[in-house]
Structure 1
Amino acid sequence: MTISHQRGAARPPVRGTDRSLARRAELLAIGRKLFADTPYDALSMDDIARQAHVAKGLIYYYFHSKRGYYLAIVQDSVADLVGFAASGRELPPGDRVHRTIDGYLRYAEHNHASYRTIVSGGVGFDAEVHAIRDGVREAIVTTIAEGAYGRQEIAPLARMGLLGWVCGVEGATLDWIDRPGLTRDDMRELLVRMLGGTLRAIEELDPAHPAPEPARRDV
């Protein structure tokens, strides 16, 4: 399928059709794999089209530019990850925290390339992608805060403690998917107990943020 295109004059597809949505999702999946291992500047649109086995015009048709394609890949991956991690809002707080961590790990386990792109900010430095990654961190902090404290608004010290834990989770999870020596269940329980230590440390420094009862029994 070949669609003629002039830069800056892309015609948006009919987004509401099942066929166009499926085609777009297919291109996003292909792009996740390509950009996971190759620097952004090293891939031309010709390279992308050749490796994806599609006409270059098709990529322009859906995403308007290489930049638009790349950002759509990152944003789509982020939506998936946050969706996995934030599920289970109907559960009790302790169960919700376990569900959040399990969903996070499950996403990383089954979407290596996308996860690396999100937490590493892409291959190389990209300020806009890093801003998206920071948004993911804040979303995870908010989800954990809701599970631990029953509210999203928390004091700066509590937020910094949870953010530090999230950054540690990112590094540990990257290593885990590269060297999968632990089961997901073991990895989840390790991270839960690390979170318990963080919550207790927050409580010691700021009694207005008491650790939930399960966190006091973790270690």
Structure 2
Amino acid sequence: MNISQQRGSTERSQVRRAELIAIGRKLFADTSYDALSMDDIAKQAGVAKGLIYYYFKSKRGYYLAIVEESVAELVARAGSDTELPRAERVHRTIDGYLRYAEHHQAAYRTIVTGGVGFDSQVMAIRDAVREELIGAIAEGAYGHRRIPRLARLALIGWLSSVEAITLDWLGHDGDPDRDTVRDLLVRTLRRTLDTIEEFVPECPSPEPA
């Protein structure tokens, strides 16, 4: 096989893998990891079970690939819209976070709760998401991501409350509506930023939009 043929084969494999992940995202959107067997997945995807094993080695490998792919969208969204005013960027970051949780409920619960048992790979994904969100909030509030340790602790506390609120919100079928929850989280963030300023004067709370 020449270089051109190898490149074509690799590209086809990448496309096929991406197609399987897209199918899996739909299957796992509102279905837990344990609720679907590999036979179920293959049947609903309309593919041979061996094809999934070929690309992902196992059900767990397939699921982790799906989680990583969907989380990549959330992380990309958090770091986007850099041309917007800071307050609006923070607002959009929180709104995007809730939209992601709403439309990828099973994956969101997996990330926040640590996966199937204590899954170090899922925990690593969760930590990466947290780091990106804290960075995005800090940049939106202060114009940079490097902040003092105490300010970071306060934002971690706020983000932990966001996770708990979001899980409870999803458990009650999205009641109240997403806009109300978003506004609640934005206001609690405002209080957190005001408190940070009290303890860390070099991190002044930004002016309200």
Report the TM-score, using the length of structure 1 for normalisation: 0.80
The change in CA–CA distance for 1:96 and 1:26 in structure 2 (over 3 A counts) is closer
Q: Confirm or deny that 1:107 pairs with 2:103.
A: no
1:37 aligns with 2:32: yes
Which of 130, 136, 139 is 2:132 aligned to? 139
Please, which of 55, 68, 80 is the counterpart of residue 61 of structure 2? 68
How many angstroms does 1:21 deviate by?
5.2
Q: Distance in 2 between matches of 1:181 and 1:144?
A: 25
Q: Give the conservation status (yes or no) of the 8 Å contact 1:81–1:107.
A: yes
Consecutive unaligned residues in structure 1, runs of 5 or more: 1-12
Partners of 2:47 and 2:96 in 1: CA distance:
33
- Compute the displacement of 1:53 (Å): 4.3
Cα deviation, residue 18, structure 1:
8.5
Give the equivalent residue in structure 1 for 2:4: none
User: Is 1:210 the equivalent of 2:204?
Assistant: yes
Instruction: Figure out how many residues of one structure are paired with residues of the other and give that number.
Output: 200
Cα RMSD (Å) of the superposition? 2.4
Q: Cα offset for 1:115?
A: 1.6
Q: How many angstroms apart in 2 are the aligned matches of 1:21 and 1:58? A: 10
Partner Cα separation in structure 2 for residue 110 and residue 66 of structure 1: 22
Distance 1:16 1:152, change over 3 A: farther
Sort the Cα spacing of 1:209 and 1:78 in 2 relative to 1 into closer, same or farther, 3 A: same
Q: 1:57 aligns with which of 46, 50, 70?
A: 50
Instruction: Give distance in 1, aligned partners of 2:167 and 2:95.
Output: 15
CA deviation map 1:4-61 (0-9, x unaligned): xxxxxxxxx6345785255223343256348x5244xx87644543554431111022
Contact 1:14 1:20 (8 Å CA) reproduced: no
Tell me the CA shift for residue 106 of structure 1.
1.4
Which residue of 176, 191, 208 maps to 2:185? 191
Distance (Å, rounded) in 2 between the aligned partners of 1:38 and 1:78: 16
CA offset digits 1:95-152 (Å, max 9, x no partner): 1111111111111122212221222222322112111101111110000000000001
Aligned position for 2:5: none
Q: Which runs of 5+ in 2 are unaligned?
A: 1-8
Q: C-alpha separation between the residues in 1 aligned to 2:61 and 2:116?
A: 16
Partner of 1:10: none
- One-letter code of the match for 1:63? F
**Number of the residue aligned with 1:20:** 16
Identity %: 57
Given candidates 107, 118, 122, the residue that maps to 1:125 is 118
The alignment's TM-score, normalised by the length of structure 2, stands at: 0.84
Q: 203-212 or 64-73, which moves further after superposition?
A: 64-73
Q: What is the one-letter code of the residue matched to 1:184?
A: R
Residue 184 of structure 1: CA displacement?
1.5
**What amino acid is the match of 1:193?**
R
**1:176 Cα deviation after fit:** 1.1
Q: What letter is aligned with 1:59?
A: I
- Counterpart of 2:208 in 1: which secondary structure? helix
